[in-house]
């Protein structure tokens, strides 16, 4: 067995709803709000344009970091996967054996449009030489 199969799976840092909210804020809302305030402050003489836009940029940078850390923890967990593809050497070592391990009921795969599997290779570094 590989080390990864012994490691305790992490849980994602943010749930789906929180992740989507923070990602939308960082990629759409805060940049648009900063551009809007800066433009309107130039046209209408609104106060503290640099301070407001600088604050929005700082908050946006923080949200961007949260999104990236959350994305990394999400993929480190088993959350995005419906199972794994185990790759092992055969007993005699002459070939690779691929096994599909599904989390839950395998018949649920029939109703899915897309299924993502994690590859778990226990083959080591020795390539199989075919005659």
Q: Determine how many CB atoms are found less than 10 A away from the CB of residue 53.
A: 17
CA–CA dist 9, 2 (Å, integer): 14
Residue 45, Ramachandran bin (φ over 0: left; ψ between -120 and 50: alpha; else beta): left
Q: Check if the beta carbon of residue 28 is closer than 8 Å to that of residue 20.
A: no
Residue pLDDT tens, the chain, 131 long: 344 444 455 677 888 899 999 999 999 999 999 999 999 999 999 999 999 999 999 999 999 999 999 999 988 888 889 999 999 998 888 899 999 999 999 999 999 999 999 998 876 655 555 55
**Domain range list for the chain:** 6-76, 81-121
Give the sign of the dihedral formed by CA 55, CA 58, CA 61, CA 62. Answer: negative
Phi, psi at 94, each rounded to 5°? -90, -10
């Amino acid at each position: 067995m590989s080390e990864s199969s012994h490691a305790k799976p992490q849980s994602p840092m943010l749930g789906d709803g929180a992740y989507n909210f923070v990602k939308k804020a960082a990629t759409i809302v805060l940049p648009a709000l900063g551009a809007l305030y800066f433009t309107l402050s130039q046209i209408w003489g609104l106060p503290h344009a640099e301070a407001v836009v600088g604050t929005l940029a700082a908050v946006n940078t923080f949200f961007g970091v949260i999104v990236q850390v959350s994305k990394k923890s999400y993929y480190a967990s088993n959350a995005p996967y419906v199972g794994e593809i185990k790759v092992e050497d055969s007993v005699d070592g002459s070939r690779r054996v691929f096994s599909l391990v599904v989390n839950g009921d395998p018949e649920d795969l029939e109703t899915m449009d897309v299924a993502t599997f994690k590859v778990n290779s226990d083959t080591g570094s020795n390539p199989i030489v075919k005659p």
